[in-house]
Amino acid sequence: MKKGHLTETRILAAKIYSALPVEMKKEVDISILQQAAMLHDYGKVLIPKEILNKKGALTPEEKKIMELHSELGYELLKQQGVNEEVLNLIKYHHQKPDGSGYPVADKNFEYSISSQILEAADVYSALTEERPYHKASTKEEALLIIYKEVEKGVLSNEVFEALKKSV
């Protein structure tokens, strides 16, 4: 039984961190990473349920609304005094090192090891979870999809290997 996407993402992020080479671990604050993993989709509380639970593809307009969730979460949690590092991981958890993704990156964006871990854990959890708009992928299918990010130079091979060891 699934624990829920946020809990699953937090647990998997911690496992990926644990499986990283020691030198890479030094670049990650596990407490910050776990907080961001638990809060990364917080902004979805402001996304209409009809969009969140829609079966099938979103329209371009619905997709734009859905893509607001990371910035909305950032703004909501900023008002609560959440740590700036946590906030930036939340805001940019769909951003890529080449500037693709969303929201548009500003000077606070850094595609760090923590960013990569959060992305890998989030994507794996989302892919392997039954959702209204897609069936759950198998472990192998999810890893194959995520490996394409390694081939594109988006995700480091070390983070991918740590993910593989963790699932």
Q: pTM above 0.85?
A: yes
The string of DSSP codes covering the chain is ----HHHHHHHHHHHHHHHS-HHHHTT--HHHHHHHHHHTTGGGGGS-HHHHT-SSPPPHHHHHHHTTHHHHHHHHHHTTT--HHHHHHHHTTEE-TTS-EES---TT----HHHHHHHHHHHHHHHTS-BTTBPPPPHHHHHHHHHHHHHTTSS-HHHHHHHHHH-
Asked whether the predicted pLDDT for residue 117 surpasses 80, the reply is yes
Which single residue is written with the structure tokens 């890529």?
A: 96
pLDDT of residue 3: 62
Q: What are phi and psi of 156, to 5 degrees?
A: -70, 150
Mean pLDDT for the chain?
A: 94
Q: Please tell me the CATH code under which domain 5-166 is placed.
A: 1.10.3210.10
Could you tell me which residue, 130 or 85, shows the higher pLDDT? Answer: 85
